[in-house]
């Protein structure tokens, strides 16, 4: 055995940790956000889908009055946002797509509900009402 023998590189090199998963928009921004309302099958508004192109942000804010079952109705719409990100679509364009989407059996985007909030925090305050 010689003293010059060294273990393979993978035993001596630093690990390069990489987080993987589906492409997602950033979930926070301090800039104004465009938002649309999401309603359950009876027409009750259960929350808001939002977007900001400057920070590549988009996501979901449930209303304070939404039950857990109602909040779960947002899942297909949030998945739509993930698919839009994977296709390289800007957040505001994803909202455009959602406005034109067919309603599901249990939830729908409220027509003509696109508005702008001063910030994501302002939208959260609106959702708390």
Q: Is residue 105 part of a domain?
A: yes
pLDDT for residue 12: 67
CA 110, CA 13: separation in Å to the nearest integer? 54
Structurally, the chain folds into a number of domains equal to 1
pLDDT at res. 129: 84
From first to last of the 129 residues of the chain, give the pLDDT tens digit: 556 666 666 666 666 676 777 889 999 999 999 999 999 999 999 999 999 999 999 999 999 999 999 999 999 999 999 999 999 999 999 999 999 888 887 999 999 999 999 999 999 999 998
Domain span including residue 81: 20-127
Number of Cβ atoms within 10 Å of the Cβ of 111 = 12
pTM, two decimals, is 0.82
Does 3 reside within a domain? no
């Amino acid at each position: 055995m010689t003293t010059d023998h060294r273990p393979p590189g993978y035993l001596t090199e630093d690990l390069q940790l990489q987080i993987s998963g589906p492409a997602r928009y950033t979930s926070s921004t301090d800039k104004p956000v465009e938002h649309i309302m999401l309603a359950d099958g009876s027409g009750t508004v259960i929350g808001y889908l939002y977007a900001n192109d400057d920070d590549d942000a988009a996501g979901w804010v449930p209303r304070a009055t939404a039950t857990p079952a109602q909040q779960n109705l947002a899942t297909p719409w949030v998945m739509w946002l993930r698919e839009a990100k994977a296709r390289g679509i800007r957040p505001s364009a994803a909202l455009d797509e959602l406005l034109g989407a067919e309603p599901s059996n249990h939830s729908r985007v409220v027509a003509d509900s696109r508005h702008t909030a001063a910030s994501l925090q302002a939208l959260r305050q609106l959702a708390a009402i």
